[in-house]
Amino acid sequence: MRITFIGHSTVLIETAKANLLVDPFITSNGLAKMSIEDLPEIDAILLTHGHGDHVEDVQPIAERDGSLVIAVAELATYFGWKGLKTHGMSIGGGFDFPFGRVKLTQAFHGSSVTESENRRIVYTGMPAGLLLYLEGKTIYHAGDTALFSDMKLIGEQNKIDLAFLPIGDNFTMGPDDAQLAAQWIKAGKVVPIHYNTFPVIRQDARQFADRLGDRALVLAPGQSIEL
């Protein structure tokens, strides 16, 4: 399994059965080293919530590739109304897809689509984290979230091989809370995400990694690992 950190919270996961993309925000991400044209054909797009820096490129990618959009029910309905193939889920629920199992965890954040031209905010359900069970490995993408104590349960109930945790602060956990989250979920490796894309979430990922020790894995945008 090949995993590429595209930038911000966007992650590409290439398995023997499918190419998966989490929270596609590429076009307006100044730190991204690739464009959506550089992506392989995407079989499924997995979303943690509806904010623009997580769903910006859903429509063009899904229309290009016929991708299945997997998200909490309200957000799936929103994209279904736009003509995309969707699969709606809810927090705590799991489903076995041809490529592997997906389970949604809670996340403490917001979730909405902002329609600036109409000065309207559209509610898109609860935010979520993602547990992905792929090729005998477990990946946890926390999405945008604050620290919450049930992360201990996530760590107790799962043997997490790789976790993506936000460290940007202001909108999500900062480095201190993310360090505690990493301890609670007991992941083999932890990749910091959701930082430096905007001035308000600027952080030193290397400093975070030094505090976390050998389990930390700082990936530059465009960098890949094998799991």
- 120-121-126 Cα angle (round to 5): 165
Amino acid 44 reads A
Task: State residue 116's pLDDT score.
Answer: 87
The CATH class given to the 2-220 domain equals alpha beta
Q: Are 154 and 140 in contact (CB under 8 A)?
A: yes
Task: State residue 188's pLDDT score.
Answer: 97
Q: Which residues of the chain have pLDDT under 70?
A: none
**How much is the CA Rg of the chain, to the nearest whole Å?**
16
Task: State residue 213's pLDDT score.
Answer: 93
Query: Which residues are within 8 A (CB) of 221 and not within 5 positions of it... i.e. 6 or more apart?
Result: 5, 6, 7, 31, 32, 33
Q: Are 222 and 4 in contact (CB under 8 A)?
A: yes
Query: pTM for the full model?
Result: 0.97
Task: State residue 118's pLDDT score.
Answer: 87
In total, the chain counts a number of residues equal to 227
Helix, strand, or coil (residue 74)? helix
pLDDT digits (tens, 9 = 90+) for 53-103: 999 999 999 999 999 999 999 999 999 999 999 999 999 999 999 999 999
Phi-psi category of residue 143: left, alpha or beta, with phi > 0 → left and psi -120 to 50 → alpha: left
As a whole number of angstroms, the distance between CA 75 and CA 141 comes to 17
Task: State residue 131's pLDDT score.
Answer: 98
Domain residue ranges in the chain: 2-220
